[in-house]
Amino acid sequence: MNQESLFLLFDLVGTFAFAMSGAFKAIRKNLDLLGILILGFATAMGGGIIRDALLHRTPVSFTTNLYALFSLLGCLAAAAWHYVAKGRRLLDEDRAFLLLDALGLAVFAVIGASAGAAAGLKPWSVVVLAALTGAGGGAVRDLLVLEIPMVLHADFYASAALLGGLSFVLLSGAGIQPSFVSAAAFLTTLLLRIAAIFLGWSLPKLR
């Protein structure tokens, strides 16, 4: 399995996990069936759609069926879990689930950074685009049900994508080979996010 197909696999795993996290939130907020689908799809595709709107490209998720399919599967899986577990256990706070989500965050960050670099953006905005692609969907999910986006006040999530984007920019700037740059940015994001999950990292606040 080469790097490209591995990244596509992670991309779809991430889409699936993001859609699940959106659908879970929709179920808990007592939204209807359409609301569950909208929140699932918006979480899975929101980051990429915002990125593509900023880069004035037609959303990638609208020009292929693959992301829609895995978003739908994520929504169905969340509904199935809801019936099985009946709220006794919140899967999206489970570490196993968070690892799937972390795969998505890492691969989305790399895709965002690559798109920004290809569009000729400045280094700092390549970094922003990595974080926006990775964490934008979750922010849309939170805002749609009137919660202050998690990335603004808790956890170490978008920060992992930012640092992944930073490593992308630094290694690209150093003239490293693209496939290695992507792999390094992916691993930076993934490992930082995994560390955050297991060590309970969060950013300081001003007091």
Comparison of 76 and 183: residue with beta carbon closer to its own copies:
76
Q: Under a CB-based contact definition with an 8 Å cutoff, are residues 16 and 73 in contact?
A: yes
- At 161 the three-state DSSP class reads helix
**Which residues lie closer than 8 Å to 86 by C-beta, 6 or more apart?**
none
In angstroms, what is the minimal distance from the CB of 182 to its own copies?
21
**In angstroms, what CA-CA distances link 107 with 32, 127, 130, 187?**
31, 14, 9, 9
In angstroms, what is the minimal distance from the CB of 189 to its own copies?
15
**Which residues lie closer than 8 Å to 55 by C-beta, 6 or more apart?**
115, 116, 119
Comparison of 13 and 50: residue with beta carbon closer to its own copies:
50
**Footprint on this chain of its own copies (rule: CB under 8 A):** 26-27, 29-36, 38-39, 41, 49, 52-59, 61-65, 68, 79, 82-83, 116, 119-122, 124-125, 128-129, 143-149, 151-154, 158-159, 162, 202-206
In angstroms, what is the minimal distance from the CB of 32 to its own copies?
4
Please state, in angstroms and rounded to a whole number, the distance separating the CA atoms of residues 186 and 180. 10
128 conformational bin, left if phi > 0, alpha if psi -120 to 50, beta if neither: alpha
Comparison of 13 and 42: residue with beta carbon closer to its own copies:
42
Comparison of 159 and 182: residue with beta carbon closer to its own copies:
159
In angstroms, what is the minimal distance from the CB of 115 to its own copies?
11
- Residues belonging to the chain: 207
Comparison of 6 and 148: residue with beta carbon closer to its own copies:
148
Is the four-CA dihedral 193, 196, 198, 202 of positive or negative sign? Answer: negative
Please state, in angstroms and rounded to a whole number, the distance separating the CA atoms of residues 142 and 140. 5
Comparison of 101 and 142: residue with beta carbon closer to its own copies:
142
